[in-house]
Amino acid sequence: MILVTMVMTEKGLRLADDSKELVAQTFRAGDLLDCEIKKHASTRSAEQQGLFHELVKRYSVKMHEPFWITKWRFKYNYGPHVTLEDIERDGPPTWSKGEWIRLRDIYPAMRGFAFLKSEGKYTVGESADVNQGAMIECSANGVYITDIVRTLAKHEEERGARKKRD
C-alpha cells in the first residue's frame, strides 16, 4: 500500500506531481487498484516548521557545524526514514517526497544511504517527534532554547482555553 495525493480538476482526478514517480515505480500498466479517497488534511503547522528550523539553526551555530548536517541528523534520528536495506526488504516507503543522504555525512563511521521524508509531508505527530528530539539535543548540549519552551507553553495554554470555550 502507498499513500498518494490527488488533485480534483474539472476533468476529474489526477495524481499530484510528487506522487507520480512513486506510483510508476510501484504499479504496472493494467494493474487493478483499490482506492479510498478522502479530503486532504493539513499535516503540520507553519509554527512547527519554524520551530524545527530555529532549533536546527541554534544547534548548528553552537556546535559549529553546517545547518544541513544538523538538519539531516535530527531528521534521521527522530523522523521517518528508510535505508536501502529497508527498501530492498520491504519495498519503497509510503511517501514519495524526500531526499537521499549518505549516512557518513552525519555519522562518519556509518556507511550506506537513507531516504529522509520531506518535512512538508510530515504528519503533526512526526513533526512533534522531530521537534521534541531536537529540543532534547539542544538542551543536552547547552543550546539556549528557554524562550522557545516558554512560547510553546503559552501556545498550549491558549489552545486549551480555546477548546474549553468551544
Report pLDDT digits (tens) over 61-75: 999 999 999 999 999
Nearest in space to 74 (alpha carbons), one of 146, 22, 141: 141
Supply the DSSP string of 87-123, one letter for each residue.
HHHH-S-S---EEEEEHHHH-TT--SEEEEEPGGG--
- pLDDT band (50, 70, 90) for residue 89: very high
Of the CA atoms within 13 Å of residue 119, those in its CB half-sphere come to 20
Nearest in space to 44 (alpha carbons), one of 99, 121, 98, 117: 121
- pLDDT band (50, 70, 90) for residue 40: low
